[in-house]
């Protein structure tokens, strides 16, 4: 039996090859943080955890141990901090954890050197368990037992690891101890809130083409004199005004076109599919999800923002006919006629390795935006709760193996703060594996109360990128309901922080 320590106690280590084992009634995510004399990591490579299982002199032994070769720890590292955090599959806090114990053993023979049984805890979701530190040329072990309510991300932040701060919407989920520093990602400029449809990228319009956006209440009229140089697309709207005609214009049943009895105008050039019959909006016929003609696509062109819904006057698809399968750019209103509004939904994301036997470590995340386009919270494998617990992550999947969802994110729509307008769901490759090594990627939304699948989006393409904006769930204007839009656009980004800026163009 090794030396038993109480909180704050320490003991010398007679060997430099040791193994730290953690016992617990609930599964824990174990990690080690290597810090210098200033108490900070030198870089993110000094963080050893499930997504980065090795570091200088440290190796993670899943599910509940770490192995140390202390002679291989760089000389500018002053101590190694061992942490444990709840993985989301058990109780929400350490108040529900029993049998927590830490043993430091001789890695060669297995003899117990030091034991520490921390006292009871309350609302903590992560702990600093023990430290291995240098003193007078030798190594010692110290019993710590310090709790954090902000999870592993709160601990990592204190030691200088670049972890996103939850922000105002997630502040209720718990914070680090008073006085602990917090990291906040730098602000990123975003497009004007409310921007929707814009005309697709197309060859320059001839001088007689009508402008794509007109002043409120004005109908198409004979074109102005030709500009000195051909122009295409719509002029920038005033700040906060969406692309396209103002809401409610023209009067019901009145299509955009020449005023009745007005002078005839030359036929405009055709971008995208041929013009619809009079009175019918652009896009697929109402209630249908047919693909556009070959070589064309409904809605904006490549690189343009994904619209929040069909063009004005078009019929939005809802859940009346059961499960909806989306293609890129399509939206579905998450309502069913006569049924109460959805309150709890779950987004499931899945993928498979393109080559049999290989492991693909992708991470699903949810970024929460307010009406100004500001990212107010992020939910991911190191910060599993957001928006005061209204959004919860299932935990990290390191391989992509097996059937069904690889990672899920549950959302209580009724509990989201009213300032949260949009949820963007992303997938990124933490270790830099490109999406060309992935197949069968999909996302699906299902009712978390009944388990019924509501919407599914299967991604058919792949690109050599490390990030993917999968879909958007957004409040519908003037209604207590939500809509989901399939996006499926690739970007480069290995972390959720790197996916914030790409996600903003789809708000």
User: Using an 8 Å Cβ cutoff, are 164 and 383 in contact?
Assistant: yes
Q: With 0-12 CB in 10 A as exposed, 13-18 as middle and 19+ as buried, what is 171?
A: middle
Alpha-carbon gap, residue 103 to 140, rounded angstroms: 14
Q: Which of 305, 316, 253, 359 is nearest to 472 (CA)?
A: 305
Q: What is residue 289's three-state secondary structure?
A: coil
pLDDT at residue 168 in the model: 40
Q: Could you tell me which residues come within 8 angstroms of residue 302 by beta carbon, excluding any fewer than 6 positions away?
A: 200, 201
CA distance 362 to 34: 25
456: left (phi over 0), alpha (psi -120 to 50) or beta: beta
Q: DSSP letters of 442-454?
A: EEEEEETTT--EE
Write down the residue that tokens 């023979």 correspond to: 109
pLDDT of the residue at 383? 82
| Termini Cα distance of the chain | 59
Q: Where is 497: in which H helix or E strand?
A: helix 496-504
Task: With CA atoms as reference, report the closest residue to 48 among 166, 180, 159, 165.
Answer: 159
pLDDT one digit per residue (tens) for the chain, 507 residues: 789 999 889 999 999 999 999 999 988 889 999 999 988 999 888 999 887 889 999 999 988 899 999 999 999 999 999 999 887 778 888 988 888 999 999 999 899 999 999 888 888 888 999 999 999 889 999 999 988 887 788 788 888 886 654 444 433 333 333 333 333 333 333 333 333 333 344 444 444 444 444 344 444 444 444 444 434 444 445 555 554 445 545 445 545 554 455 455 445 444 444 555 555 555 554 444 445 455 444 444 443 333 444 433 345 689 998 899 999 999 999 999 888 889 999 999 888 887 766 677 788 999 999 999 999 999 988 788 889 889 999 876 554 445 678 889 999 999 999 999 999 999 988 778 889 888 888 999 999 989 999 999 998 888 999 999 999 999 998 888 999 999 999 999 888 888 999 999 999
Asked whether 391 and 385 are in contact (CB, 8 A), the reply is: yes
Cα–Cα distance measured from residue 77 to residue 164, given in angstroms and rounded to the nearest whole number? 24
Residue 108 DSSP symbol: T
The full set of domains in the chain, from first to last, is 3-163 (2.60.60.30), 324-504 (2.60.60.30)
At 203, list the tokens. 């060859």
Contact at 8 Å (CB) between 221 and 259?
A: yes
3-state helix, strand, coil split of the chain in percent (to 5) is 5, 30, 60
Which two tokens mark 184? 């906040």
Cross-strand partners of 113:
none
In 232-361, the DSSP E strands lie at 324-326, 331-333, 344-353
CA distance 81 to 49: 12
Rounded CA separation 468/104 (Å)? 42
Helix (H) or strand (E) holding 33, with range, is strand 28-35
Nearest 10 degrees: Cα torsion 141, 142, 143, 144: -130
Separation between Cα atoms, residue 265 and residue 401, nearest integer Å = 60
User: Residue 237: how many CA atoms within 13 Å on its side-chain side?
Assistant: 22
Query: In this structure, what token pair is assigned to residue 237?
Result: 């709207």
**Tens digit of each residue's pLDDT (9 = 90 or more) over 58-80:** 999 988 899 999 999 999 999 99
């Amino acid at each position: 039996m090794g030396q038993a320590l109480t909180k704050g106690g320490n003991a010398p280590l007679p060997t430099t090859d040791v193994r730290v084992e953690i016992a617990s009634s609930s599964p824990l995510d174990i990690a080690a943080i290597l810090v210098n004399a200033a108490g900070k990591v030198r870089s993110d490579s000094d963080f050893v955890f499930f997504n980065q299982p090795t570091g200088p002199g440290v190796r993670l032994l899943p599910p509940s141990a770490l192995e140390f070769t202390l002679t291989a720890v760089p000389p500018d590292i002053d101590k190694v901090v061992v942490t444990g955090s709840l993985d989301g599959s058990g109780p929400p806090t350490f108040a529900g954890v029993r049998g927590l114990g830490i043993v430091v053993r001789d890695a060669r023979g297995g003899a117990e050197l030091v034991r520490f049984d921390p006292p009871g805890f309350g609302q903590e979701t992560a702990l600093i368990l023990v430290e291995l530190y240098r003193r007078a040329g030798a190594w010692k072990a110290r019993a710590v037992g310090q709790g954090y309510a902000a999870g592993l991300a709160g601990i990592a932040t204190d030691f200088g690891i670049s972890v996103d701060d939850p922000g105002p919407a997630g502040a209720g989920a718990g914070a680090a101890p008073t006085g602990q520093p917090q990291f906040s990602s730098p602000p990123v400029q975003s497009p004007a809130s409310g921007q929707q449809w814009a005309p697709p990228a197309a060859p320059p319009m001839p001088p007689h083409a009508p402008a794509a956006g007109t002043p409120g209440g004005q109908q198409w009229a004979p074109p102005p004199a030709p500009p000195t140089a051909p122009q295409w697309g719509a002029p920038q709207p005033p700040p906060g005004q969406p692309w396209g005609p103002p809401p409610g214009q023209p009067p019901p049943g009145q299509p955009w076109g020449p005023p009745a009895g007005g002078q005839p105008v030359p036929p405009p050039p055709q971008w995208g599919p041929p013009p619809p019959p009079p009175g019918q909006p652009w896009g697929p016929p109402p209630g249908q999800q047919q693909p556009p003609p070959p070589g064309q696509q409904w809605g904006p062109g490549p690189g343009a923002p994904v619209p929040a819904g069909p063009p004005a006057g078009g019929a939005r698809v809802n859940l009346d006919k059961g499960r909806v399968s989306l293609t890129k750019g399509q939206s579905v209103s998450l309502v069913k006629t006569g049924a109460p509004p959805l309150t709890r939904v779950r987004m499931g994301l899945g993928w498979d390795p393109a080559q049999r036997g290989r492991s693909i470590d992708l991470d699903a995340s949810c970024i929460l935006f307010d009406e100004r386009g500001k990212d107010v919270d992020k939910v991911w494998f190191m910060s599993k709760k957001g928006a005061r617990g209204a959004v919860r992550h299932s935990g990290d999947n390191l391989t992509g193996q097996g059937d069904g969802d690889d990672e899920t994110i549950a959302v209580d729509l009724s509990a989201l703060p009213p300032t949260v307008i949009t949820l963007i769901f992303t997938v990124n490759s933490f270790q830099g594996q490109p999406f060309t090594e992935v197949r069968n990627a999909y996302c699906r939304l299902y009712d978390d109360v009944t388990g019924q699948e509501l919407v599914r989006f299967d991604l058919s393409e792949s690109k050599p990128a490390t990030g993917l904006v999968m879909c958007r769930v957004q409040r519908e204007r003037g209604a207590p309901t939500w809509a989901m839009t399939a996006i499926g656009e690739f970007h480069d980004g290995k972390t959720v922080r790197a996916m914030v800026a790409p996600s903003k163009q789809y708000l």
